[in-house]
Amino acid sequence: MATLKDVARMANVDVSTVSRAINNTSYVHPDTKARILASVKELGYQPNVIAQSLRQGKRHTIGVVVPRLHMTVFAEIMQGIEEEARRLGYATLICNTEDDSKTERECLTRLRNGFVDGIIIAGTGHNGRLLRDIRSSGLTITQILRQQDTTLSSVIVNYENCGYEATKYLESRGCREIGLINGTMKIAPYQERYNGYHRALKELGLSETSAISSSPVNSLEYGYQCALDLLEQNPNLDAIMAAVDVQGIGAMRALKEQGIKVPEQIRLISLTGHIIGGMLETTMTSMEMPAHEMGLKAALMTIRDIESPTEPKTPPQHLVFTSSLVERESS
148-169 per-position pLDDT tens digit: 999 999 999 999 999 999 999 9
24 vs 271, higher pLDDT: 271
Mean pLDDT on 76-100: 94
Asked if domains 58-157+291-322 and 159-288 share a fold, the reply is yes
Residues 275-305: tens digit of each pLDDT: 777 778 899 999 999 999 999 999 999 999 9
Rounded distance between C-alpha atoms, residue 142 and residue 166, angstroms: 28
> Domain boundaries in the chain?
4-47, 58-157+291-322, 159-288
Nearest to 178 by CA among 219, 230, 228: 230
- The answer to whether residue 57 scores a pLDDT higher than 80 is no
**Domain 4-47 superfamily per CATH:** lambda repressor-like DNA-binding domains (1.10.260.40)
Contact 65, 106 (CB under 8 A): no
pTM above 0.85, yes or no: no
Q: What single letter denotes the amino acid at residue 2? A: A
Contact 251, 222 (CB under 8 A): no
Any idea which fold 58-157+291-322 has?
Answer: Rossmann fold (3.40.50)
Binning pLDDT at 50, 70 and 90, where does residue 146 land?
very high
Q: What single letter denotes the amino acid at residue 308? A: S
For residues 64, 66, 70 and 73, what is the CA-based torsion angle, rounded to 10 degrees? -100
Mean pLDDT on 247-259: 96
Rounded distance between C-alpha atoms, residue 218 and residue 289, angstroms: 17
Crossing angle of helices 4-11 and 15-23, rounded to 10°? 100
Any idea which fold 159-288 has?
Answer: Rossmann fold (3.40.50)
In the three-class reduction of DSSP (H, G, I as helix; E, B as strand; rest coil), residue 120 is classed as: strand
Question: Which residues have C-beta within 8 Å of that of residue 221, sequence separation ≥ 6?
Answer: 213, 215, 250
Rounded distance between C-alpha atoms, residue 276 and residue 274, angstroms: 5
Contact 246, 218 (CB under 8 A): yes
Mean pLDDT on 103-132: 92
The gap from C-alpha 101 to its chain's centroid, in whole angstroms, comes to: 16
- The answer to whether residue 115 scores a pLDDT higher than 80 is no
Q: Give the strand order in the sheet containing 324-326.
A: 209-211, 178-181, 239-242, 267-273, 285-288, 324-326
Q: What is the pLDDT of residue 214?
A: 77
